[in-house]
Amino acid sequence: MKVAVVGATGLVGTKMLQVLAERNFPVTELLPVASEKSIGKEVEFKGKGYKVVGMKDAIAAKPAVAIFSAGGGTSLEWAPKFAEAGITVIDNSSAWRMDPTKPLVVPEINADILTKNEKIIANPNCSTIQMVVALNPLHKKYNIKRIVVSTYQSVTGTGVKAVSQLMNERNGVVGERAYKYPIDLNVIPQIDVFLENGYTKEEMKMVNETKKIMRDDAIRVTSTTVRIPVVGGHSEAVNVEFSKDFDLIEVKNILQQSPGVVVVDDISNQRYPMPMDAHEKDDVFVGRLRRDESHPNTLNMWIVSDNLRKGAATNAVQIAEYLLGKGLL
């Protein structure tokens, strides 16, 4: 199978190559694609070097699938051109997520909406993915009314420049900055730009994408997204109100049996999910499960996942795996 990875030299693109190799996706020919300045550079995949090619050459090569992680502008311009050539695009940017004609997919939840006709498939926001993987099985049982989520997001969500800023500050080196403010020994309560309603774009992504993926516009969601000086993954404090009452033991059992979820909830031994434990893993880790004593039918939970893997690369590859398994590629 011929596979293109668009944005192959970036942080997420590199992780996509790693995940494709680890999961033994049946790549017979790899087409690493990047911007004009990267054409001719070499990337490694399964111990072999591959020359980076441009967009037009990639389309001409007619891969079965193109996994995009090159930013919204690039996706808006080029994804339709790949699709017109009959190539299935799985796009990791925000460009197509809220387009009503494009599926927004987390395979554990709604891969069943995919058909052979879908040529542009949106990969959700990293912080949304991990939350809905944990919440959807509980929604099926208890029916979610409202979600209040506060995130603690890794600098890797911003990219290489942000990781460099953190490490430079930690080592007392003056260098290029991804953020307006220092990130080491600091917390920045802004991810993406502010909108007219006072929320950031990242916060509204969580609101809107959750409803679309879980196929329920009645769920009310409010979000505060925060950048912290961490590299391993994103963490979320989630307060979720259900229509029905729940039993905590049953909640744990449901989560333990849910695909892609690992429950780490043993407070007697101080065991709970942390980014350092989720790093380089594909699961969504859930812990600190407890009843909200201030409000009926309401659960508090702590959700952690590697944002470059399940939050981006792994979810995209899982979509490709589903398409392949169902004969849709």
Given 139, 234, 279, 295, the catalytic residue: 234
Check whether residue 104 and residue 71 sit in a common domain. yes
- With beta carbons less than 8 A apart as the criterion, state whether 147 and 319 touch: no
pLDDT at 36 over 90: no
Burial of 311 (0-12, 13-18, 19+ CB in 10 A): buried
- With beta carbons less than 8 A apart as the criterion, state whether 127 and 225 touch: yes
The Cβ-side half-sphere exposure at 19, using a 13 Å CA radius, reads 27
Check whether residue 202 and residue 279 sit in a common domain. yes
Check whether residue 252 and residue 283 sit in a common domain. yes
What confidence tens digit (pLDDT) does each residue in 61-101 have?
999 999 999 999 999 999 999 999 999 999 999 999 999 99
Range of the domain at 194: 127-306
- Please enumerate in sequence order all residues whose Cβ is within 8 A of that of 43, keeping only pairs 6 or more positions apart, or say none: 8, 9, 14, 17, 32, 49, 50, 52
Check whether residue 268 and residue 321 sit in a common domain. no
User: What letter represents residue 184's amino acid?
Assistant: D
Check whether residue 135 and residue 219 sit in a common domain. yes
What confidence tens digit (pLDDT) does each residue in 251-262 have?
999 999 999 999
What confidence tens digit (pLDDT) does each residue in 144-192 have?
999 999 999 999 999 999 999 999 999 999 999 999 999 999 999 999 9
Looking up tokens 């111990």 gives 47
Check whether residue 256 and residue 117 sit in a common domain. no
Active-site annotation holds for 295: no
d(CA 147, CA 253): 21
| Number of separate domains in the chain | 2
- With beta carbons less than 8 A apart as the criterion, state whether 89 and 119 touch: yes
Check whether residue 181 and residue 316 sit in a common domain. no
Check whether residue 135 and residue 180 sit in a common domain. yes
Check whether residue 38 and residue 86 sit in a common domain. yes
| CATH number of the CATH domain containing 274 | 3.30.360.10
| CATH number of the CATH domain containing 75 | 3.40.50.720
3-class SS of residue 194: strand
Check whether residue 141 and residue 273 sit in a common domain. yes
Check whether residue 216 and residue 290 sit in a common domain. yes
What pLDDT, on the 0 to 100 scale, is given for residue 310?
98
d(CA 220, CA 208): 10
Check whether residue 110 and residue 136 sit in a common domain. no
Active-site annotation holds for 139: no
